[in-house]
Amino acid sequence: MQLTPEQVGSVNLLLAAVQLAQKRGAFSLKEAHALQEAIDVLQPQTVTDEDLQQAEGDVPSSETTQTVSE
């Protein structure tokens, strides 16, 4: 299924609205989890070196050799 640029923009707007509502506590934990899984399918998150350092307890970047593949 091919989406037009207008449809992609609409989906991105809906995703942003859901994420904002989620941050404001509009959903239960179970609902928030289900919505986040759906968002992850549509908009995969990119893992940065900074994210990895925070997850590993601020390990210097020279020691971070993990790569992320799609």
- Domain around 42: 5-63
**Residue 64's pLDDT is what?**
47
**Residue 60's pLDDT is what?**
54
Q: pLDDT by residue (tens digit) across 6-63?
A: 998 999 999 999 999 999 999 999 999 999 898 888 876 676 777 777 777 765 545 5
0.85 exceeded by pTM: no
**Residue 2's pLDDT is what?**
87
Q: Is residue 12 part of a domain?
A: yes
Q: Is residue 58 part of a domain?
A: yes
| Residues in contact with 42: Cβ distance below 8 Å, sequence separation at least 6, in sequence order | 11, 15
DSSP assignment string, 11-56: HHHHHHHHHHHHHTT-S-HHHHHHHHHHHHHHSPPPPPHHHHHHHT
Domain count, the chain: 1
Q: Is residue 32 part of a domain?
A: yes
Q: Is residue 47 part of a domain?
A: yes
**Residue 58's pLDDT is what?**
60
**Residue 44's pLDDT is what?**
61
C-alpha distances (whole Å) from 50 to each of 37, 38, 59, 69 are 23, 25, 10, 17
Q: Is residue 18 part of a domain?
A: yes
